[in-house]
Amino acid sequence: MTEITVQTAALPPAVERFVVAWGEMGAVWGVNRSVSQIHALLYVSDRPLAAEEIAERLHLARSNVSTSLRELLAWSLIRRASVLGDRRDFYEAEADVFEMVRRIAAGRKTREIDPAILALRQCLAAAEDDPRVSGEVRRRFRTMLDFTEGVARSFDEVLQLPTPVLAKLIKMGGAVARFAGLTRGGRAKRTRGDT
């Protein structure tokens, strides 16, 4: 992929590169590129920015900026801020990366994992009452539901960890699994039932 840099006098090259990269990553994660770029700009800004300034710095339409700001507010990734002597709304991003990731993860769980659990529960309930659904299909529904509920529980537990604990766990990486005896020399142990 070729990186194309648009001349933006107001943005230092490192900031511009971050904004462009965050926009690209957001698009891969299913987030509108403008939303991701605005979030990136606010994250690296030393001060709150007005919508007009965001539009000017990123060369975006004011209407696009307004829509994107509403989406970021809904995710609780940014907040409105007041500036003394100015009646406009200003915006600033959550600067604590752990809190930011918690909010993104919680939002994705609400929008993706929770509905999947609900759908699986409904499928399993419908399958229980339908003699045309084989025991094997019911078993597969139950297995997927158990797995998804387990992921949701673990997700919730990890998100509730205090930041210092979470930071230590992240630094430990695979050492946690080795400490728990779940791996051998960087390779996962096979247990009965593994395929």
Q: What is the pLDDT of residue 175?
A: 78
Parallel, antiparallel, or unpaired for β 187-188 and 86-93?
unpaired
The model's confidence at residue 183, banded by pLDDT at 50, 70 and 90, is low
CA atoms within 13 A on the CB side of 120: 19
Q: What is the pLDDT of residue 189?
A: 56
Q: What is the pLDDT of residue 157?
A: 92
d(C-alpha 106, C-alpha 173), whole Å: 21
The mean-pLDDT minimum among 26-30, 155-159, 188-192 falls in 188-192
Q: What is the pLDDT of residue 156?
A: 92
From residue 163, alpha-carbon distances to 5, 44, 158, 179 in Å are 36, 21, 10, 21
The model's confidence at residue 56, banded by pLDDT at 50, 70 and 90, is very high
Q: Residue 61, SS3?
A: coil
Q: Domains along the chain? A: 13-93 (1.10.10.10), 97-188 (no CATH)
Two structure tokens written together for 183:
């791996």
Residue-wise pLDDT for 96-154, tens only, equals 999 999 998 898 899 999 999 999 999 999 999 899 999 999 999 999 999 999 999 99
Average pLDDT of every residue of the chain: 88
Higher pLDDT, 35 or 185: 35
